[in-house]
Amino acid sequence: MFTLIDLTFFANKEFTSGSALIESQAASLGYLRHIKERVSIEIVKHMSKKEHRVIKNGLQYHFFKSNNHFFSFPLKTLWHIRKRQPDIVLTQGLSFPFQVLMLRLFAVHKTRIIAQHHGERCGRSMIKRIIEQWADKCIDAYLFNTPSYADERLQLGLISSQNKIMLLPEGSNTFRKKNKQEARLQAGIASEGTVFLWVGRLNDNKDPLTILHAFAKYLSHNADAQLYMIYQTEDLRPAIIDLLNQNDLLRGHVRLLGKINRNHLEMWYNAADYFITGSHRDYGAFALLEAMACGCVPIVTNISTMQQYLQHGETGFLFPPGDVEVLSLLLTILDQYNIEEMSQKVADHFRTTYSFEKIASSFYDICTSLLAAKQSHYAGDRVIDMVSSNA
């Protein structure tokens, strides 16, 4: 059994309790319960309140007070890690390279450092990039959702070797595929027609207007279709209301549900036939993974994360961001497919590739291989052989 510290330098100042912070990050922490019998784990996070500990679901969380300054120096955290002498430290995010340098100085020699990318962009200033290059020398391996997000860092020399890069989703969910008719009864959906579901922010990046314009064209082909929209922010809601008021067909077939309790999301994904989104950029694509877990067939943009999750269109449909014509054409050919067969294929793909169980198993293999190669100066270079063979 090896020891692991899951470390986040970012200070979540909006939370007043550690338990609330843990609950908010369930999508990224869920893998832990699937390896805790084989690994000695501690989770270290930062907040704006004083140091404290929380035990939840058999896992120990340690919270330290800190801030998010680029050159912040979390001395208590670093001394804590040195005393623990973990075999592996998994640092969440790439926005704190200075702290990674300090971590390497304080950690004992045996400690391997893995850094997980969460969609952070490269530093723009030369000083920050130089520090990122220095931090790279301390990092044994990187975890990315897709290879494309590592390309810029490789080209800029912020990651010294392609062999350090491994693929692992940053999170998942516990949703499951259930009986569709029962889910529709619970959701209050009386229609027997095709049901589409939108889950996401109403902003330019998610591009709901492209979806609505394409859906308006599709309704002339399938007058029984319904689109339900669940959203957390309302940036473009006035524009959407104007569009619905100008189009009688849309107004009768689009339901704006607004924000709903997360406990009800699983029901909605199971009630719908298709999950649809217009994202121009989406690193984690958590809503997509939730939909896939429930067998809700995805219709999403062909950006890198979506391509990766859908096997480049094998388990869903892809269209160019912002392209109303291609999307409307795609919608008209959906009746050529067996929705039940596709639904089961999507759910099976999620379970075998993106579930917490699979993420935990893959991460465990990465760690054990990294530790086996710890005598090598470039330990990370030798891990990739195993990961590539299992990809």
Give the Cα separation of 8 and 91 in Å (integer): 6
User: Residue 313 — φ and ψ, nearest 5°?
Assistant: 100, 0
Q: Diameter of the chain by CA atoms?
A: 69
Q: Is the dihedral of CA 279, 280, 286, 290 positive or negative?
A: positive
Tens digit of pLDDT at every position of the chain (391 positions):
999 999 999 999 888 888 899 999 999 999 999 999 999 999 999 998 888 999 998 999 999 999 999 999 999 999 999 999 999 999 999 999 999 999 999 999 999 999 999 999 888 899 999 999 999 999 999 999 999 999 989 999 999 999 999 999 999 999 999 999 999 999 999 878 999 999 999 999 999 999 999 999 999 999 999 999 999 999 999 999 999 999 999 999 999 999 999 989 999 999 999 999 999 999 999 999 999 999 999 999 999 999 999 999 999 999 999 999 999 999 999 999 999 999 999 999 999 999 999 999 999 999 999 999 865 544 334 333 433 334 3
Structure tokens at 281: 């950029």
Domains of the chain (ranges plus CATH)?
Answer: 2-172+357-390 (3.40.50.2000), 180-353 (3.40.50.2000)
Q: Identify the pLDDT of residue 378.
A: 42
Distance between first and last Cα of the chain: 25
pTM (2 decimals)? 0.91
**Cβ 36 vs Cβ 45: under 8 Å:** no
Q: What pLDDT sits at residue 374?
A: 66
Q: Are 85 and 108 in contact (CB under 8 A)?
A: yes
Residue 370 has φ and ψ, to the nearest 5°, of -65, -40
Per the CB < 8 A criterion, the answer to whether 374 and 115 are in contact is: no
